């Protein structure tokens, strides 16, 4: 479904990603692991259309999406949840969700169905519908941004470090929800620093180091590679 | 000072000296006039560069300080017998004081600097956008004062009788001095700190109150230079009105700095030359078109329109101006290394 | 009693204009974090449109609608000419391009129409007066307050209850995130400029109503007003802009009523000095907006 081929990403003169190639098949939950600065977030940003690759291609279902804008990508079923969470703080939970469905706002019935689905999956949000999003806790905000991304009914969900800054108990909850989402048919590309927990729920994994792919495979295959412990910080 | 800075200094001083010499050698008073005005503008633009180039904040108040310098210096040099006519309500304390133009110009510059020092403090604490807007308000305030404080400025009417003391050579010396100041400030600790933080909001936030002080220094120095230019200008043009220190002139010097490149002294100098030449050519064309009646309309404002379009085009194509981030000396050294 | 009513109506009517003007500026600033220097010229454009339509047989209301429309279109044009090409380059670049565009517009009026003041057609109702509590109040001032109240209500509704308004508010805090939800950046920005133009257009009708004529430089004062009101109100808040507008009007009107005649000509100097004092006390303005969003 998603094919990245030899991309190079830069911020000005700094190379964040030197050469990354990866594949995500429909229905999979794939993780991108690696230490800080390895290039994981940048890779997600390039898929989401925020960072254009200097070299290489990104294909979605065969179509080259490397030069598309974020708005165009949403219409093609890609939804991104950045590590900064980025709730709209002075808008309510409900209004945040409403904006998540912006790209298909005309289809009121389908949007409402998705909204109900999200409330079932994230009951905490259902209780706080009218609350300004800026007043939610970190864990609640994370749930909100995932639910908000799902409102556009994406086929590919990009999650950038959902566990960032959250207590382990909350992280477990979030990961449960991610699994539930995957089971409903969404393909997920997950970036995580928390390798152990991430590998428990993933089908396949890529380990990035200094802008390149250092390893790929199932959790078992990765665990066998003792050299990787020095490449990434896991817990 | 290392090589690259020496090259820059030479590159900036040479055209100034050549211009001054050429204008007198050619023998047409028109050229001398244009050259003198160019050099005075250069002092203004360099002053603007000192503040804007290093802090990254646009200041609209700059030309107001030129006005302060112009009016203050004129107060002490208008011949005593004329004062009753030009400034009938001038305060009796000041009326009998007559000083040499050179001293007066210095006083004017210092007074402008003083006003800037007082006024700038609240300004520097503001966020970038608010600072720009407030500097604009400051310009309007000072203009209002100039237009209405008739005792000292003769109100909206022309102030005349200022003795002519500025020669093209004096202006050239002033320009060279200004260039040295600008380069010195740029490489000083204050200048370096300001530039390091200029484009980085986070770093700027980390500096806190210190940043206000640094910006204040730049603002005050730039006002000194503007006041100096004002004094020189007043003693060249010998009569002027408050409208000379308002939006139109702000636009022109801003254009010079932006087109040349606001980050560097070389850019300020280049921009002054380019825009002056373009301006004079356009003016001459405008006048020729008007007097020959080629078009049914009187072509007033055509020059400003062309300048405005040029500014937009330059900013779109080369946002940091013709000379980008590096001074002339650094550019020359890069060529040398490659070749 | 009469003088108090007169004072109140003066503050409210002037404040209405100031508030609308400031709002139009902040709408663009809030989303783009960029200041529109050509904003005052929208009043000039509306004024000259009215002047050019002056001899026509249409009712004034029709002419007014066209004038406001011209302001909206010029606002959108400002976006295309001065903002879009340099938006991503730097804050200073946009300030200068919009300043240049402003000069361009003014000098075009100078060149193609006239440097001298031109009378604009005004509805007869603008010259009527009405007696309230012993004071003679120009009807125009009452109309200004009513029009502003209406416009602010509609604006508030749009911002709070419509998807476009929500999208604009979202884009003002987190522009890139909004795009990642599929909210088209250009639509948001153009809408902001259009609304800004609409506000300036309506202001221009009443502003011209006070002066009666238009000159190329007419936009300077409203621009300054919008600037100052915005800065004291707080540049990141829509409510702040409105508050700033009324506060500025209060200051100006109070000075108008209380300054001795010799000092009245320095009124603007006093006003801005007071403003600078306010800024000394609160550099970020009186109302803090939502958390800083990144610039586009």
Task: Report domain extents, chain C.
Answer: 2-281
Q: What is the mean pLDDT of chain B?
A: 86
- CB nearest to C167's CB, from A48, A74, A102: A102
Scanning the structure block, which residue is given the tokens 């002339």? B328
- Cβ neighbours of A95 in C, within 8 Å: 166
pLDDT at B217 (0 to 100): 92
Residue A82 domain-assigned (yes or no): no
Q: Are A167 and A64 contained in the same domain?
A: yes
CB contact under 8 A, A80 and C166: no
Q: How far is CA A229 from CA A8, A206, A212, B318, in A?
A: 25, 14, 16, 47
Cβ neighbourhood burial of B275 (10 Å; 0-12, 13-18, 19+) = buried
Which segments of chain C have a pLDDT < 50? 292-296
CB atoms within 10 A of CB C42: 33
**Residue of higher predicted confidence among C290 and B264:** B264
Per CB-CB distance under 8 Å, the chain C contacts of A90 are 169, 173, 290
| Residues A188 and A211 occupy one common structural domain | yes
C-alpha closest to that of C191 among C31, C81, C38: C31
| Chains A and B share 3 or more Cβ pairs within 8 Å | no
- Nearest chain B residue to C230 by CA: give it: B130
Asked if B133's CB is within 8 angstroms of C230's CB, the reply is yes
**Closest to A57 (Cα-Cα) out of A48, A47, A69, A72:** A47
Q: What kind and span of H or E run contains A216?
A: strand A212-217
Q: Chain C residue closest to B321 (CA)?
A: C93
Q: Do C183 and A91 touch (CB under 8 A)?
A: no
- Residue A230: the pLDDT is 58
The CA-based angle C228-B206-B138, given to 5 degrees, is: 25
- Cα B312 to chain centroid distance, Å, stands at 21
Q: Which residue of B has its CA nearest to C102?
A: B308
Residues counted in chain C: 296
According to CATH, what is the number of the domain C2-281? 1.10.3470
- Specify whether A127 is located in the same domain as A162: no
Which among C89, C103, C284 is the nearest to B319, CB-wise? C89
- Which residues does chain A have within 8 Å of residue C166's beta carbon, measured at their own beta carbons? 91, 95, 98-99
Contact C41, B247 (CB under 8 A): no
Q: What pLDDT score was predicted for residue A233?
A: 47
pLDDT-derived band of residue A235, with 50, 70 and 90 as boundaries? very low
Distance CA C148, CA C130 (A): 19
Q: Chain B: nearest CA to C176, how far in angstroms?
A: 18
Nearest to B107 by CA among B245, B231, B242, B219: B231
Range of the domain at A204: 2-77+154-230
Task: Chain C: give the shortest CA distance to residue B217, in Å.
Answer: 18
Q: Chain C interface, mutation test: which of B48, B118, B130, B243, most C Cβ atoms within 10 Å?
A: B130
Instruction: Name which residue leads in pLDDT, C134 or B299.
Output: C134
pLDDT, residue B226, reads 96
CB pairs under 8 A between A and C: 67
With beta carbons under 8 A apart, name residues in chain C contacting A108.
none
Q: What is the C-alpha separation between C222 and C196, in angstroms, rounded?
A: 13
The answer on A73 and A6 residing in a single domain is: yes
Q: How confident is the model at residue A100, as a pLDDT? A: 93
- Indicate the residue among A148, A177, A201 that finishes a domain: A148
Q: Which residues of chain B from 131 to 150 reach within 8 Å of chain C, CB to CB?
A: 132-134, 136-138, 140-141, 144-145, 148
Based on the domain organization, do A56 and A101 belong to the same domain?
no
Decide if B315 and C93 are in contact by the 8 Å CB cutoff: yes
Please say whether the beta carbons of C204 and C71 come within 8 A. Answer: yes
Alpha-carbon distance of C27 to C75, in angstroms, equals 12
Instruction: Return the DSSP state at A132.
Output: B
Mutate to test the interface with B, among C36, C95, C293 (most CBs of B within 10 A): C95
Please compute Rg for chain C using Cα positions.
19
Average pLDDT, chain A: 87
Which residues of chain B make contact with C82, given a CB cutoff of 8 A? 312
What is the phi/psi pair of residue A56, to 5°?
90, 175
Closest of B257, B251, B292, B284 to residue B272, by C-alpha: B257
How much of chain B exceeds pLDDT 90, in percent?
29
Higher pLDDT, residue B224 or B339: B224
> Which phi-psi region, left, alpha or beta, contains residue C65 (left: φ > 0; alpha: ψ -120 to 50)?
alpha
The SS3 call for residue A60 is: strand
User: How many CB atoms within 10 Å of residue B102?
Assistant: 14
> Phi and psi at residue B308, in whole multiples of 5°?
-60, -45
Out of C33, C110, C266, name the one closest to residue B301 (CB). C110
| Chain B residue with the nearest C-alpha to that of C109 | B301
Domain boundary among A148, A180, A199: A148
Suggest the residue from B205, B255, B319 to mutate for an interface test with chain C (most C CBs closer than 10 A): B319
> In chain C, which residues have their Cβ closer than 8 Å to the Cβ of A69?
179, 185
Decide if C111 and B297 are in contact by the 8 Å CB cutoff. yes
- The residue count for chain B: 339
Which residue in A195, A212, A200, A171 sits closest to A39, CA to CA? A212
User: Which of C173, C176, C181 has the CB atom closest to A50's CB atom?
Assistant: C176
DSSP string, chain C: -HHHHHHHHHHHHHHHHHHHHHHHHHHHHHHH----TTSTHHHHHHHHHHHHTTTSSS-HHHHHHHHHHHHHHHHHHHIIIIITTTTTT-HHHHHHHHHHHHHHHHHHHHHHT-SS-EE----GGGG-EEEETTEEEEHHHHHHHHHHHHHHHHHHHHHHHSHHHHHHHHHHH-HHHHHHTT--HHHHHHHHHHHHHHHHHHHHHHHHHHH-EE-GGGGHHHHHHHHHHHHHH-TT-HHHHHHHHHHHHHHHHHHHHHS-HHHHTTHHHHHHHHHHHHHHH-TT-SS--SSPPPP-
Locate the chain B residue with the closest alpha carbon to C101: B308
Counted domains in chain A: 2
Rounded mean pLDDT, B121-135: 82
Residue A159 has pLDDT above 90, yes or no: yes
B173 and B280 in contact (C-beta within 8 Å)?
no
**B181 token code pair:** 């100041």
Q: What is the mean pLDDT of residues B154-159?
A: 87
> How many Å apart are CA C25 and CA A8, to the nearest integer?
40
pLDDT tens-place string over residues A171-196: 888 898 889 888 888 999 999 887 88
Residues of A in contact with C290 (CB under 8 A): 89-90, 134
Q: Note the pLDDT tens digit of each residue in A109-132.
A: 999 999 998 998 888 899 999 999
Cβ–Cβ of C35/B127 closer than 8 Å?
Answer: no
> A97: nearest CA in chain C?
C181
Q: What does the pLDDT read at residue A99? A: 93
Q: Do B144 and C35 touch (CB under 8 A)?
A: no
Secondary structure class of A27 (helix, strand, coil): coil
Contact B301 C35 (CB under 8 A): no
Note whether B268 and B46 are within 8 A (CB).
yes
Burial A142-173 (b: 16+ CB within 10 A, else e): bbbbbbbbbbbbbbbbbbbbbbbebeeebbeb
What pTM was estimated for this model as a whole? 0.84
Residue percentage of chain A with pLDDT more than 70 = 96
SS3 B91: coil
A156 φ/ψ angles, rounded to the nearest 5 degrees: -125, 120
> What whole-number distance in Å separates Cα of residue B40 and Cα of residue C229?
36
Residues forming a β-bridge with C214: C118
Which residues from chain B sit within 8 angstroms of residue C86, using beta carbons?
A: 315-316, 319
What is the pLDDT at residue B133? 84
pLDDT, residue C195, reads 94
User: Which string of b and e fits B220-253 if b means at least 16 CB within 10 Å?
Assistant: bbbbbbbbbbbbbbbbbbbebbbebbbbebbbbb
CA dist B226 and B49 (Å) reads: 11
CB A45 within 8 A of CB A16: no
pLDDT of residue A234: 45
Q: Give me the half-sphere count of Cα atoms (radius 13 Å) on the Cβ side of residue A11.
A: 9
- Considering only CB atoms, C103 lies closest to which of B130, B137, B304, namely B304
**Rounded to a whole number, what is the distance in Å from the CA of A68 to chain C's nearest CA?**
12
CA B332 to chain CA centroid, nearest Å: 27
- Are the Cβ atoms of A88 and C169 closer than 8 angstroms? yes
The ipTM, to two decimals, is 0.88
Q: If you average pLDDT over residues A94-105, what whole number do you get?
A: 92
Of B140, B122, B139, B142, the residue nearest B131 (C-alpha): B122
> Phi-psi bin for B18: left (phi > 0), alpha (psi -120 to 50), beta?
alpha
Pairwise CA distance, residues C294 & A167, whole Å: 27
Q: Which of C166, C170, C179 sits opposite A71 (nearest CB)?
A: C179
């Amino acid at each position: 479904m998603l094919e990245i081929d030899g991309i190079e990403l830069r911020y000005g003169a700094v190379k964040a990603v030197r050469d990354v190639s990866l594949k995500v098949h429909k229905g999979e939950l794939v993780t991108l692991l690696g230490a800080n600065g390895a290039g994981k977030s940048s890779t997600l940003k390039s898929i989401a259309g925020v960072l254009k690759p200097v070299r290489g291609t990104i294909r979605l279902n065969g179509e080259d999406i490397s030069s598309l804008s974020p708005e165009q990508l949403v219409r093609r079923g890609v939804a991104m949840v950045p590590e900064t969470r980025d709730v709209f703080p002075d808008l309510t939970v409900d209004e945040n969700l409403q904006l998540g469905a912006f790209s298909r706002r005309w289809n009121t019935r389908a949007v409402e169905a998705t909204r109900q689905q999200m409330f079932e999956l994230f009951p905490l949000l259902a209780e706080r519908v009218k609350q300004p999003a800026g007043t939610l806790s970190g864990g609640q905000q994370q749930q909100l941004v995932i639910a908000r991304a799902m409102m556009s009914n994406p086929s590919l969900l990009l999650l950038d470090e959902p566990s960032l800054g959250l207590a382990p108990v909350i992280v477990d909850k979030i990961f449960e929800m991610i699994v539930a989402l995957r089971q409903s048919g969404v393909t997920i590309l997950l970036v995580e620093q928390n390798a152990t927990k991430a590998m428990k729920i993933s089908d396949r994994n890529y380990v990035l180091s200094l802008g390149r792919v250092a390893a790929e495979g199932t959790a078992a295959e990765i665990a066998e590679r003792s050299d990787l412990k020095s490449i990434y910080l896991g817990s | 000072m290392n090589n690259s800075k020496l090259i820059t200094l030479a590159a900036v001083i040479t055209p100034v000296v050549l211009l001054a010499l050429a204008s007198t050698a050619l023998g047409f008073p028109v050229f001398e006039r244009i050259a003198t005005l160019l050099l005075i503008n250069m002092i203004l633009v360099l002053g603007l560069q000192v503040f804007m180039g290093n802090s990254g904040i646009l200041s609209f108040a700059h030309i107001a300080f030129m006005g302060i310098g112009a009016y203050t210096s004129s107060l002490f040099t208008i011949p005593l017998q004329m004062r009753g006519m030009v400034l009938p309500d001038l305060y009796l304390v000041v009326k009998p004081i007559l000083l040499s133009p050179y001293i007066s110009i210095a006083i004017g510059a210092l007074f402008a600097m003083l006003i800037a020092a007082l006024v700038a403090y609240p300004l520097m604490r503001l966020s970038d956008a608010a600072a720009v807007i407030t500097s604009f308000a400051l310009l309007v305030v000072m203009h209002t004062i100039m237009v209405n404080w008739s005792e000292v400025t003769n109100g909206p009417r022309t102030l005349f009788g200022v003795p002519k003391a500025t020669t093209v050579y004096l202006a050239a010396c002033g320009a060279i001095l200004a260039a040295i100041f600008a380069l010195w400030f740029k490489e000083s600790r204050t200048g370096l700190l300001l530039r390091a933080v200029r484009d980085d909001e986070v770093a700027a936030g980390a500096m806190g109150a210190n940043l206000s002080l640094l910006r204040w220094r730049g603002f005050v120095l730039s006002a000194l230079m503007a006041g100096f230019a004002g004094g020189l200008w007043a003693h060249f043009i010998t009569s002027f009105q408050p409208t000379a220190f308002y939006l139109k002139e702000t636009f022109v010097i801003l254009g010079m700095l932006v087109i040349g490149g606001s980050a560097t002294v070389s850019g300020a100098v280049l921009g002054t030359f380019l825009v002056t030449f373009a301006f004079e050519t356009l003016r001459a064309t405008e006048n020729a078109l008007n007097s020959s009646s080629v078009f049914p309309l009187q072509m007033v404002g055509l020059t400003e329109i062309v300048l405005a379009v040029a500014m937009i085009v330059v900013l779109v194509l080369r946002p940091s101006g013709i000379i980008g981030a590096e001074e002339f000396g650094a550019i020359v050294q890069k060529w040398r290394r490659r070749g | 009693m009469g003088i108090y009513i007169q004072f109140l109506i003066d503050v409210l009517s002037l404040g209405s204009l100031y508030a609308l003007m400031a709002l139009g500026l902040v709408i663009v600033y809030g989303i783009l974090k960029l200041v529109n220097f050509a904003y005052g010229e929208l009043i000039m454009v509306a004024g000259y449109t009215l002047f050019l339509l002056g001899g026509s047989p249409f009712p004034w209301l029709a002419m007014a609608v066209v004038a406001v429309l011209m302001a909206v279109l010029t606002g959108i044009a400002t976006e295309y000419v001065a903002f879009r090409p340099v938006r991503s380059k730097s804050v200073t670049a946009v300030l200068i391009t919009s300043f240049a565009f402003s000069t361009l517009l003014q000098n075009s009026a100078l060149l193609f129409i006239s440097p001298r003041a031109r009378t604009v057609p005004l509805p007869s109702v603008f010259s009527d007066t009405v007696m309230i509590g012993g004071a003679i109040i120009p009807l125009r001032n009452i109309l200004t307050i009513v029009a502003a109240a209406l416009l602010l209500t509609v604006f508030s509704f749009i911002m709070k209850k419509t998807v476009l308004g929500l999208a604009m508010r979202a884009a003002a805090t987190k522009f890139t995130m909004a795009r990642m939800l599929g909210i088209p950046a250009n639509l948001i920005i153009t809408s902001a400029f259009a609304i800004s133009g609409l506000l300036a257009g309506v202001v221009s009708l009443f502003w011209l109503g006070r002066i009666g004529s238009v000159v190329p430089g007419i936009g300077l004062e409203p621009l300054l007003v919008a600037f100052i009101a915005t800065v004291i109100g707080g540049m990141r808040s829509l409510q702040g802009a409105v508050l700033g507008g009324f506060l500025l009007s209060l200051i100006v009107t109070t000075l108008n009523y209380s300054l001795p005649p010799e000092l009245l000509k320095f009124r603007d100097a006093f006003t801005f000095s007071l403003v600078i004092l306010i800024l000394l006390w609160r550099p970020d303005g009186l109302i803090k907006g939502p958390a800083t969003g990144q610039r586009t």
